[in-house]
Amino acid sequence: MKFVDTNLGQRVKIAISGEVGTIIGQCVYLYEAPSVYVEYKAADGSASSSWFSPEQLEIQTTEDDTADAEKAEERSGPFVAGNVHNGDVSFTVHVDAVDIEDLNLSGG
pLDDT, tens only, 61-95: 866 655 655 665 565 554 444 454 445 544 444 44
Q: Using CA atoms of 64, 50, 2, 102 in order, give the dihedral in degrees to the nearest 10.
A: 80
pLDDT digits (tens, 9 = 90+) for 12-37: 999 999 999 999 999 988 888 899 99
H or E stretch including 67? helix 63-76
Q: Which of 12, 6, 3 is nearest to 49 (CA)?
A: 12
How many CB atoms lie under 10 A from the CB of residue 30? Answer: 5
Q: State pTM to two decimals.
A: 0.57
